[in-house]
Structure 1
Amino acid sequence: MMSYLISFFYGICLLLSLIGWGKVLNHILFPNQRIDWGQRSAWGLAFSVLIGGILNATWTISQTTILFFLGLGLIYCLVDLINHRQLIINNILHLFQECRKDKVILAGIAIVSLLILIQYAGWLYTGRHNFANMVYADGFNTSDDYHGYLVFPHKMLQLGSMGSDPFSERRIVSLGGQSFLQALILSGLSDTNLNLIDPALPLIITVGLILGFFKENKVSTKRIVFTILFLLLIPLPKANTTSLMLPVALFVSLFRTLDSKEIERNHWAANACILALIAAAICALKSSLIPACVFLFATSYICYLISSESKQKVLFELVLTTVLVGVFLLPWMISMYQSSGTLLYPLLGKGYHASAYGITFKSGSTLLGTAKSAMRAFQGIYVFILIFLGCLSLSIRPWKFGNLPEEPSFSNRQAVLSMTIAAGLATIAVGVITENADPFRYSFSHLFPAILILIAVAMTDTGTLNKNGAANFFIAAVFCAGLAISYNWAITKQTYSAYVKNIEFGLTNPSLVTAKQKSQYVAIQESVPQGETVLTRLDAPFILDFKRNQIFLADWPGGASLPPGMPVFKGPEALANYLVSKSIRYIAYSSWSLNHPADVDTSGPGLSSWFRLQAKLSHDFRDNVRQLAKSRKKLYEDGENFVLDLGTKAISMGL
């Protein structure tokens, strides 16, 4: 119970720290405005990603530096709360008075508060996924997370940086912002608490952002409750610990920044700084988010350039914003180049990715196939809702370029239109890139915030130019929200049931690994000389001691490797000679990997060529290791794991 309470309040303190750092940015960039807490927490989140990139590039990440960083933000937030305590008390009293007058509002707020509490508490502790019957809130992915994503924050805390991992495909497709945010959790808690940083806290931040949006616009409390209920009743397509709700919060924050007439009146340099910071944070979280970010910026600045009377100001801001995005991403990009041979895959080079060596799932793709992938990307209820509400939104918000009405909610950047277009185009782009492998999961982080924004806009009354159109838009938004909730209602019920199970699980003070596993991994490393490099494909490599040995991850074998590329389909000796030539003499392997879900037969219909290729490469690596285990000396074996010395032949049983 005590560990659960500590985890609960650690998350609250982390949120307050983010709000504190957001307040620092508020004070520096917009000293004459008091930004709402939701926006400040999102800005603090983006700032944390920037700080993480600097610490990672300079190899200075540690538990001490992280707790010091979080402590400063927490202190600043608490001081600000004390200074504005009367305003906070007045707001609470006003809400209390309103609830006393309307029991429906009271019930709605109570339900919303309960659902937020259940989700937050349900994500505090999570365990392994049950692959046979996976519910989105079940826990960690024993493939993606155990083999890759859980390793990176541990390496940060042990080594000061993610360091080099040229054989990890998961390393090359993400700059590392998510890993640093996970390190914020591991600095005070454990692996079982990692979902606290995503999706638990970003969900609360998104609620705060929606409340801040409604505070700037005229809207009834009932409509506010309805919009937040929609947010809370949509199940998250969560399959691993990569970014899901973090980009949702940041995209909503970016929208609100673009949409704010107040911020637009500020100095263009301050605007450029905050826009670049949020955009860079989104791009640093996950590479699949970059298309949506690029499309959103391109569309909004085109609208801004056409609508604004001061073209020079817009161009100055555009140039500075673009430069600052590059500057904020540069520390992460330098680390990526040192590890994987590219500043940003695939935009700035393929680096050590398998595609650089001619191994690609798109080798036989055609223009017709690309067109089919684009068309398939536009299937699904959420894409329909985006297009439907996006078109209707034109009926209440000005879309003709030129001077806009002097309304606080109207911005020359056409943020609603820009967000809608960006989400649609990004859905196509991501669908084509991934061949629509699990398309909704990859598109959720830009598709859902766009829909949420459209529904929030439909709830507002401010600035409606067409009253009939506004009424129709509101009715359509209510219908679409109900449609989306009912469409996934069975999954929603299962997910909330999983939250309750997670709470029960967390009260037992669980661990992702057993004492037996820990002792086995100590023995695995002790069998290898200290300082030597080891290529691993183990079931839980994140519990290794990264200071003792240089550990390389073969998360998707052959998916990434040092030049000229890991030999595939050329037999075990070719693999052994290649690794030894790269000063990698030792392989640590787990029998779990021999029966890994990705190693089963995936030749059936309905699977993308991406998954087929990964399975073929995994099969080949598995077979090669099996053969090498017969011809090379085993330094360690416990029935579940073994370590091979590629430089020493096995002693023949016949001698």
Structure 2
Amino acid sequence: MGIRNVPVISEALYERLKEQGLLFPIVLLLAILSVIWSYLSSVGNLNFNIHDDYHAYLFFPSKLLQLGTLGIDPFSERRLISGLAGNSFLLAVGLVQMKWYFLHAIDWALGMLVFVYSITFIRIRASFKTEFLVKSCLVIGLVLFSIPAANITSNVMPMAIVFAIWAWLLGLIDAQNPNSSLGVKGGLVLGAMLASLLTLKSTLTPYAAISALLILVYLKCTLIASWKQFALFFSSFLLGSTLMLLPWMIDLFQSSGSFFYPLLGKGFHAAQYGYFHGATENFFSRRTIYSNIAAVFSPLGKSVFSISILLLLFLLLQLYRSRYQSRLIIFAALPLFSSILNCLIVGYAIGGYGAYRYVYFVGLASLIISIIASSFLIQKKAMAIVIYGICIFFLVRGAQDQVMHSSSLVAEIKRAWYNQNPISMVDQDRYRAASKAIPQDGNVLLRVAYPFLLKISPNVLVADYPGAASPPPGMPIGKGPEALRSYLLSHGVSYIVWDYQSQANFGKTQYGERLSPETHPWIRSEATLSFDFQENLENMRLSGKAMYESDGISIIDLR
């Protein structure tokens, strides 16, 4: 519907722009150029996480395309903990038409375009001049911000979904008869939209849960007077959520032993077996409590969240001073409250480790929708100063990020233009040869640098962080190669493909410092288990159990 109306909207916009003078076409051109530059730099980004992406997040979409299903991967920690595999399906769609090293086009580029489109065509309660300037500043700043992403999991697409959820609700509030949309259909839509966040990334769970609670309470207190109507809406909300999540949950349980990690069980995770240090272990110990609490609260000191806190306080002040349109003021505050509370919950759940990158994206989307929802207050001088001040910040911050990273972005775009594969031809040849040698008469476990480059058949499994996930009673740790061999055979694994030349890009020489007591407990546990597993593989290889060995890759026969 929106796409069909674009020509009409564009013609009307053109007529309005002519009435406003020269500034407006210049701002519009700058916004368009910023979006184009953002798209090019996203598509041209050839940087990938050599562990998360190469070992797991690129393997799963490749497996999906080659087999038509994700199947089971009981030895993959990322399969278990990162979400319900919705991101793998999105990346698989991209792989149909593009090479793997252009896959940032799916989340970073396409997600940003969807988000920009949503901002462009949502209605702001202000004059045309104000609406145009606010939207243009938000869009320009948004697309020019540097993205604090560490891997190729969904980050920007959830921003668009979060924005769409709150925008849909804002449309209901503005409607003349909102109750007509708050029946079964409305509940199904809201439930499915919030649940879709969980299919993409598990760290979005707190935000989705907080938002659901606040939205339901808000609707009951402001729009749904009848308890009977609310019960019907709530029931359909639960049904929509269940229908969205259930197939993914069953699939994850069959693969990794949990319907949804960790809320519905830890499944095959090593934490279940007692030899994996959780993220919050010793969080309140006397030695680290202050630094841990500081790490949890540190994202609130970043620009996006500090601005969110200031805007929330200002909205609460407006609510206290005047009851004028209090319903809209409260609604504008809800996304900010969800974002700030989510920041603290996620920060604690992951022990403060890299908390900012997990909460930044929904935080930014929440800030933008709150600005738009509160724009009706811009007629007040104080609110105008706040909103225009935030817009100026978006422009300055976006320009600053581009100045800092422009040279590296240009270099990346050039590499992409000349189709330069991030993986060397030597490594591609090594994996092409090993792929032809993979046996078909038993299950094969991969511990290699680039598992997605291998031919994937139904008998192929991956170990991204070996030992961090494994079927009961858990992979034996510190018990030597024979115990590991017996365990794997008991779970149907007959062969292991081992890239001993690169140590699967996780050698002790490069990452041995992760074993230090100062390292985050989760990271230290992953390193401890991976190094133990790899030492056992090397002992097996040197003992003459390899059935294939060439160019630094060995296929070990466990039988």
Task: Please report the TM-score for the alignment, with normalisation by the length of structure 2.
Answer: 0.89
Query: Corresponding residue for 1:266?
Result: 180
What does 1:405-554 correspond to in 2, within 5 Å? 414-458=330-374, 460=375, 462=376, 464=377, 470-480=380-390, 482-483=392-393, 491-547=401-457, 550-554=459-463
* Cα distance in 2 for residues equivalent to 1:212 and 1:321: 26
RMSD, aligned CA: 2.8
Whether 2:391 is the aligned partner of 1:391: answer: no
Give the conservation status (yes or no) of the 8 Å contact 2:546–2:554: yes
CA distance in 2, matches of 1:637, 1:318: 60
Cα deviation for residue 512 of structure 1 reads: 4.5
Per-residue CA deviations over 1:17-49 (Å, capped at 9, x if unaligned) read xxxxxx5xxxxxxxxxxxx45xxxxxxxxxxxx
Comparing 570-579 with 588-597, greater Cα deviation is found at: 588-597
User: Which amino acid in structure 1 is aligned with residue 316 of structure 2?
Assistant: L
Correspondence list, 1:117-136, <5 A: 117-127=36-46
Distance 2:384 2:529 in 1: 51
Are the equivalent residues in 1 in contact too, given 2:149–2:155 (CA < 8 A)? yes
Q: Report what 1:570 is aligned to.
A: 479
Superimposed CA distance per residue, residues 69-97 of structure 1 (whole angstroms, 9 cap, x where no aligned partner): xxxxxxxxxxxx3xx5xxx4443233223
d(CA) in 1 for partners of 2:475, 2:108:
36
* CA deviation after TM superposition for structure 1 residue 605, in Å: 7.6
Contact persistence 1:534–1:588 (CA under 8 A): yes
What is the number of equivalent residue pairs in this alignment? 541
- Counterpart check, 1:160 vs 2:68: yes
Residue in 1 that maps onto 2:17: 99
- Once residues 290 and 166 of structure 2 are traced to their aligned partners in structure 1, the CA distance between those partners, rounded to angstroms, is 30
Q: Distance in 1 between matches of 2:295 and 2:422?
A: 38
Retained in 2: the 8 A contact 1:373–1:431?
A: no
Deviation readout 1:512-566 (Å, 9 max, x if unpaired): 445544443343243342242111111111122223x521111011110111111
CA contact (8 A) 1:252 1:449 kept: yes
Partner Cα distance (2:322, 2:217) in 1: 13
Contact 2:277 2:525 in 1 (8 A): yes
* Distance (whole Å) between structure 2 residues aligned to residue 317 and residue 398 of structure 1: 31
| Alpha-carbon shift at residue 357 of structure 1 (Å) | 1.0
- Residue identity opposite 2:431 in structure 1: Y
Q: Does 1:614 align with 2:552?
A: no
Residues 289/477 of structure 1: CA separation in 2 closer, same or farther (3 Å cut): same
Alpha-carbon distance between aligned partners in 1 of 2:355 and 2:76, rounded to the nearest angstrom = 23
2:159 aligns with: 248
Partner in structure 2 of residue 365 of structure 1? 282
Moved more, 472-481 or 580-589: 472-481
1:185 maps to which of 82, 89, 94 = 94
Verify the 8 A CA contact 2:449 2:504 in the aligned structure 1.
no
Task: Provide the rounded CA distance (Å) in 1 between the counterparts of 2:364 and 2:387.
Answer: 14
1:114-133 residue CA offsets vs partner (Å, 9 max, x unmatched):
11001112222432xxxxxx
Match of 2:556? 644
2:55: which partner in 1? 147
Code of the residue aligned with 1:253 in structure 2: it is A
In structure 1, which of residues 156, 169, 172 is the aligned counterpart of residue 77 of structure 2?
169
- Code of the residue aligned with 2:314 in structure 1: it is L
The answer on whether the counterparts of 2:443 and 2:492 sit within 8 Å (CA) in structure 1 is yes
Q: 1:108 to 1:202 in 2, by over 3 A?
A: same
With over 3 angstroms needed to count, the CA separation of the structure-2 counterparts of 1:634 and 1:617, relative to structure 1, is same
Shift of 1:223: 2.0
Q: Secondary structure at the match of 1:288?
A: helix
How far, CA to CA, are the matches of 1:108 and 1:498 in structure 2? 26
Secondary structure of residue in 1 paired with 2:557: strand
Cα distance, 1:251–1:552 mapped onto 2, change above 3 Å: same
In structure 2, the gaps of 5 or more residues are none
Structure 1: runs of 5 or more not aligned: 1-22, 24-35, 38-80, 128-138, 648-655
**Distance of 2:413 and 2:10 partners within structure 1:** 29
Q: Contact (CA 8 Å) 1:234, 1:485: kept in 2 or not?
A: no
SS of residue in 1 equivalent to 2:513: coil
Structure with higher RCO (Cα < 8 A, 6+ apart): 2
Choose the corresponding residue for 2:195, options 254, 257, 280.
280
Task: Please give the per-residue CA displacement for 1:192-248, whole angstroms capped at 9, x wherever unaligned.
Answer: 221111110111111122122235655432222122222123211021100110111
Letter matched to residue 393 of structure 1: L
Counterpart residue number, 1:257:
168
Instruction: Write the distance in 2 (CA, Å) between the matches of 1:359 and 1:385.
Output: 41
Distance across 2 between alignment mates of 1:255 and 1:399: 25
* Residue matched to 1:57: none
1:208 paired to 2:124: no
Change (3 A) 1:321 1:123: same
In the alignment, residue 55 of structure 2 is paired with which amino acid?
H
Tell me whether 582-591 or 481-490 shows the greater mean CA deviation: 481-490
What SS does the corresponding residue of 2:78 show, helix, strand or coil?
Answer: helix
Deviation (angstroms), 1:435: 0.8
Distance 1:431 1:513, change over 3 A: same
Q: Which runs of 4+ in 1 moved over 6 A?
A: 368-372, 397-401
Q: Would the aligned equivalents of 1:169 and 1:559 in 2 still touch at CA under 8 Å?
A: yes
Structure 1 window deviating more from structure 2 (561-570 vs 311-320): it is 311-320
TM-score (structure 1 length as normaliser): 0.77
Corresponding residue of 1:601: 513
